[in-house]
Amino acid sequence: MRILILGGDGYLGWPTAMAFANEGHDVCVVDNYLRRNLARETNSEALMSCPNLHERVGLFNATFGRKIDYHIFDCTDFARLESLVAAFAPETIIHYAEQPSAPYSMIGFPEAQRTLNNNLGVTFNAIWAIIRHAPDCHLVKLGTMGEYGTPNIDIEEGWLDVSHNGRRHKFLYPRQAGSLYHTTKVLDTDLLWFYVRTYGLRVTDLMQGPVYGLDTNESAADKRLAPSFHYDDIFGTVVNRFLVQAVAGIPLTVYGRGGQTRGYLNLLDTLQCVELAMKSPVERGELRILNQFTEQFTVNELAQRVRDAGKRLGIEVRIESIENPRKELEEHYYNARHSGLLELRLKPHFMTEEVLEKMLSRIMECRDAIDPKKVMPRVSWRS
Ligand SMILES: NC(=O)c1ccc[n+]([C@@H]2O[C@H](COP(=O)([O-])OP(=O)(O)OC[C@H]3O[C@@H](n4cnc5c(N)ncnc54)[C@H](O)[C@@H]3O)[C@@H](O)[C@H]2O)c1
């Protein structure tokens, strides 16, 4: 297949590019280094140094005898994107190219505006490039479980059957995001649904939970091919922060009461999910929404898992509750359906003690590079 990956230098985009190229697909990636630039601007650089796309692609191609093609440009530039889509004629576009940090989107006006314009701009351009040049192309778009928020009812897989005054209709599941970033994902989904039902696009929108993992099959061959690893409060996930805090001897910072429940998944499962979605494209005029996570637990449970894994490595891990910088429920009902990808034969890799131990060991190799100032919250939802 010809696969175009938007955001191919990112945490998920780069491993996806390598995995698909190694399966023999024609892979072309685009990135404008937005993530690297924002990390530099906010003093949130990755823990391990990460070669740029030019170097990574050269290294990968030489190591595996494959050829990933790459382009450095901003996907909000429609002329550039549409000419690439016209020339490459992708059968699948995987769209990762967004500003993915909730705290970044809540810093202030310029950051919120940049997040809104970038995320909606890339989605809109991808849609129009497909309409004009590749109408049969399957768009696989990364959304987030955060689109749903934490409603007091079960979360369905994208859609809800509503009965009202004796009549029924199927609607997009009601969404109420907790940050401007997550709200741009809600708007993306609405935009996609409009163009799917109006122009007959084929789209799979993957509602993904936080992803963890430091390695893939390809990076096992050469560490320099590893995905980026951010551990700060802006670009690091709660899993990464806790692991780094454990290694650095800083108490794990649980925000508020720690009852926030989320659905998590292993990076290896993101790769599987995207591949499963790609290999079973939807019909034209269909928007398929799949909830992409494999297990759910609270922040307190996550902290305890990290503490237990640390103990096995001889690290004493303390857990501390700090004032929650976010506006969110700290204890709530949470039961999200996630059967769609299992029905497509996803084989989950769970967050076992061994998995956490392996990540802790890798981080211990870079202990000296940890900057403790980066792990405490610098962005508040209140200001
Ligand atoms: N990593 C997670 O835990 C997670 C969870 C849920 C959803 N997601 C979603 O998955 C996608 C990928 O996430 P990630 O963790 O790999 O993020 P990332 O920031 O590492 O990757 C996104 C990549 O897209 C690029 N990009 C952004 N805007 C661009 C533009 N206008 N033109 C060209 N390139 C652009 C960035 O430079 C970056 O390399 C995002 O849409 C994110 O919202 C991620």
Every domain of the chain and the residues it spans: 2-375
Question: Residue 221's pLDDT band (boundaries 50, 70, 90)?
Answer: very high
Query: Is 80 exceeded by the pLDDT of residue 266?
Result: yes
Residues in Cβ contact with 38 at an 8 Å cutoff, skipping those fewer than 6 apart: 44, 99, 101, 104, 235
Task: Tell me whether strands 252-255 and 159-164 are parallel, antiparallel or unpaired.
Answer: unpaired
Please tell me the distance between residue 328's alpha carbon and the centre of ligand 1 in angstroms: 23
- Average pLDDT score, the chain: 97
| pLDDT(9) > 90 | yes
- Ligand 1 neighbour 142 (Cβ under 6 A): yes
Considering 11, 148, 181, 231, which one is annotated as catalytic?
Answer: 181
- Interatomic CA distance for residues 127 and 123, integer angstroms: 6
pLDDT tens for 336-353 read: 999 999 999 999 999 999
What residues form DSSP beta bridges with 286? 202
**What integer is the mean pLDDT of 254-260?**
98
Q: Is 35 in the pocket of ligand 1 (CB under 6 A)?
A: yes
| pTM for the predicted model, two decimal places | 0.98
Ligand 1: centre distance to CA 161 (Å): 31
Residue 123: what pLDDT?
99
The CATH architecture to which 2-375 belongs is 3-Layer(aba) Sandwich (3.40)
Euclidean distance between CA atoms 298 and 149, whole angstroms = 14
For the chain, list the strands marked E by DSSP: 2-6, 26-31, 68-72, 92-95, 138-144, 159-164, 167-172, 202-208, 211-212, 252-255, 261-266, 286-292, 295-298, 319-322
- Of 14, 29, 30, 31, the one to substitute when testing ligand 1's pocket (max ligand atoms within 8 A of C-beta) is 31
Ligand 1, atom 21, lies closest to the CA of 10
User: What pLDDT shows up at residue 33?
Assistant: 98
Mutate to test the pocket of ligand 1, among 9, 11, 85 (most ligand atoms within 8 A of CB): 11
What pLDDT does residue 243 have?
98
**Rg of the chain on CA atoms, in Å:** 20
Q: Mind spelling out the 3-state secondary structure of 33-48?
A: CHHHHHHHHCCCCCCC
Query: Is there an atom of ligand 1 within 6 Å of 213 CB?
Result: no
Instruction: Cite the beta strand spans of 66-218 per DSSP E.
Output: 68-72, 92-95, 138-144, 159-164, 167-172, 202-208, 211-212
Nearest C-alpha to atom 42 of ligand 1 is from which residue? Answer: 100
Q: Is the CB of 210 under 6 A from ligand 1?
A: yes
Is the CB of 240 inside a 6 Å radius of any atom of ligand 1?
Answer: no
pLDDT by residue (tens digit) across 82-110?
999 999 999 999 999 999 999 999 999 99
Q: Is residue 185 flagged as an active site residue?
A: yes
- Gap between the Cα atoms of 207 and 338, Å rounded: 10
Task: Please tell me if the CB atom of residue 232 comes closer than 6 angstroms to any atom of ligand 1.
Answer: no
How confident is the model at residue 129, as a pLDDT?
A: 98
Q: 216 catalytic, yes or no?
A: no
pLDDT value, residue 296: 97
Cβ of 10 less than 6 Å from ligand 1: yes
Q: Is 12 in the pocket of ligand 1 (CB under 6 A)?
A: yes
In the beta sheet, which residues pair with residue 211?
Answer: 265
User: What's the CA-to-centroid distance between 166 and ligand 1, angstroms?
Assistant: 43
What is the rounded average pLDDT of the residues 131-158? 98
